[in-house]
Structure 1
Amino acid sequence: MDTGVNVLLVSLGYVENGNAPILTSIIKNNSGAFVDPIPQALVLTAIVIGVAILALGLAVTIKIYEKYGTLDISKIRGLKW
């Protein structure tokens, strides 16, 4: 689902034959054909947040394994929710 939303956001900012809005010589010559950088920035932010959540989950999993020696919930008696 996450990848699908990212593709949708990037496609919303797509302009056929568009250029990056940071090139000043192109801005002066062709003012209407620019891609929208906001969806790309949102997708990049979403990817960074996704990686951070994955790293946090992996760190918690490693700590649980170090403490209890297993990842089987039924075998972990001292784990309290």
Structure 2
Amino acid sequence: MEALVAIAIGAMTAAGVYLVLRLRTFPTVIGMTMMSYAINIFLVASGRLAVNKPPILDPYATGIEYTDPLPQALTLTAIVISFGMTAVVVLLALGAYIESGDDYIDMPDADRREDGDAE
């Protein structure tokens, strides 16, 4: 099971990096979202992959009968933060699309302003 989770994290990270390097805004936003999902899965997996075990530390428990609750709390916090940041990035991309008329990330040479050019 650990190998399957590691392969899934690696595949999501690779797909996210590929999408971030695209020259359009929508695949870039999707790539950043995929990388944040990969990080969240990595955080949950770092707390030990245990099936049907509670995330509660019991002082009377014998052996390993729980999962670590800290990575799960960090993951919940990361999900909320990544959702908010994704909303901000989508709104910035939408504003850039409305302003320029296309969603390409790179700027054409004719539209570039040099440091000495006046407005």
Please report how far the alpha carbon of residue 59 of structure 1 lies from its aligned counterpart in structure 2 after TM superposition. 0.5
The equivalent residue for 1:53 is 85
The 3-state SS of whatever aligns with 2:111 is: coil
Gaps of 5+ in 1: none
**Counterparts in 2 of 1:60 and 1:11: CA distance versus 1, 3 Å:** same
Gaps of 5+ in 2: 1-12, 14-34, 114-119
Provide the TM-score with structure 1 as the length reference: 0.59
Aligned counterpart in structure 2 of residue 13 of structure 1, from 41, 47, 58: 47
- Number of residue pairs matched by the alignment: 74
The equivalent residue for 2:61 is 31
**Counterparts in 2 of 1:43 and 1:71: CA distance versus 1, 3 Å:** same
When Rg is computed on C-alpha atoms for both structures, the one with the higher figure is 1
**Cα RMSD over matched residues?**
3.2
**Counterparts in 2 of 1:15 and 1:67: CA distance versus 1, 3 Å:** closer
Provide the TM-score with structure 2 as the length reference: 0.45
Please report how far the alpha carbon of residue 38 of structure 1 lies from its aligned counterpart in structure 2 after TM superposition. 0.7
Quote the sequence identity (%).
Answer: 27
**Counterparts in 2 of 1:15 and 1:50: CA distance versus 1, 3 Å:** closer
